[in-house]
């Protein structure tokens, strides 16, 4: 599992640190305590705001194959803060992609169910690259059925 500080992956140009997400946490909170990464065991990207309490304040990507593209984390932050999608720091984006590619490389001869997940990854990437993803439907509730979302592409 990889974990990178939000501020090392995304650039929030022109967004004030006092800007709050839909639960009232500031961008400064996210810069200080937010992380994004790849989880091999769950086959998913994840994004968390973990300020050291018993449970993270926000946690997306905590179920199997929930977030299949790093661009979904970008869109999620956009929706949480009601802002334009933050820019990827090229080094941060490369790190996220590298982590998933290392996982896929380990899967040279995957079992049948793992092949299905790899196909889903491919469709997920195509979805983001072609713009087929409908950002207006990208809500927390919709993310719960991420596999279905990418199957529609």
Q: What is the pLDDT of residues 45-86, one digit of tens each?
A: 999 999 999 999 999 999 998 998 999 999 999 999 999 999
pLDDT at 114: 55
User: Could you give the CA distance from residue 105 to residue 97 in angstroms, rounded to a whole number?
Assistant: 12
| pLDDT of res. 71 | 93
Neighbour tally for 17: CB within 10 Å: 12
Q: What is the pLDDT of residues 88-137, one digit of tens each?
A: 999 999 999 999 988 888 776 555 555 555 555 555 544 444 444 444 44
Kindly report the three-state secondary structure assignment for every residue of the chain: CCCEEHHHHEECCCCCCCCECCCCCEHHHHHHHEEEEEECCCCEEEEEECCCCCCCCEEECCCCCCCCCHHHHHHHHHHHHCCCCCEECHHHHHHHHHHHHHHHHHCCCCCHHHHHHHHHHHHHHHHHHHCCCCHHHCCHHHHCCHHHHHHCC
User: pTM of the entire structure?
Assistant: 0.71
Please enumerate in sequence order all residues whose Cβ is within 8 A of that of 59, keeping only pairs 6 or more positions apart, or say none.
46, 47, 48, 49, 50
Query: Which residues have a Cβ under 8 Å from the Cβ of 43 and sit 6 or more positions away?
Result: 64, 65, 103, 117
């Amino acid at each position: 599992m990889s974990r990178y500080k939000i501020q090392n992956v995304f650039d929030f140009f022109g967004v004030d640190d006092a800007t709050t997400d839909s639960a009232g946490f500031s961008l400064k909170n996210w810069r200080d305590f937010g992380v994004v990464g790849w989880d091999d065991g769950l086959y998913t990207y994840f994004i968390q705001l973990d300020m050291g309490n018993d449970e993270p304040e926000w946690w997306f990507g905590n179920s199997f194959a929930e977030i299949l593209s790093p661009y979904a984390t970008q869109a999620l932050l956009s929706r949480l803060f009601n802002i334009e999608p933050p820019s990827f720091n090229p080094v941060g984006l490369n790190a996220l992609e590298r982590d998933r590619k290392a996982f896929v490389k380990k899967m040279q001869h995957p079992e049948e169910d793992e092949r299905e997940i790899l196909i889903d990854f491919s469709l997920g990437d195509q979805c983001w690259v072609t713009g087929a993803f409908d950002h207006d439907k990208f809500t927390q509730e919709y993310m719960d059925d991420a596999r279905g979302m990418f199957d529609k592409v």
